[in-house]
Amino acid sequence: MKPSERFAKKVWRKPPKSPSKGHKMPNKSGLGRCAICNEKITSSKRKLLRRNFSPAKSTVRSNRPYGGYICNKCLKHQAVKETRALQ
């Protein structure tokens, strides 16, 4: 047993036509944080820290430019600032 799996949560799953097996569930990651203001991004999702347990990428973060990296408020501020700088 790995030391990191010692206190892992165990779940019971029954595969078809065989007795149920115990699986260790991986830990959950925290919510995504904004790179500018360090606030929690509300549209981000807590996912499990193992590749084969994790949900689809499009469900984890919002599907827009800088989605899951910069929050909505900061992106709006940056867009206005950049547009004003062009003129």
Residues that bind Zn ion (CB under 5 A): 34, 36-37, 71, 74
Q: How far is the CB of 73 from Zn ion (least distance, A)?
A: 6
Q: Which is nearer to Zn ion, 24 or 33 (CB)?
A: 33
| Nearest-approach distance from CB 21 to Zn ion, in angstroms | 43
Least distance (Å) between residue 23 CB and Zn ion: 37
Q: 51 phi and psi, to 5 degrees?
A: -55, -45
Helix ranges restricted to H, 1-87: 57-60, 72-86
Report how far residue 61's alpha carbon sits from residue 13's, in angstroms, rounded to the nearest whole number: 28
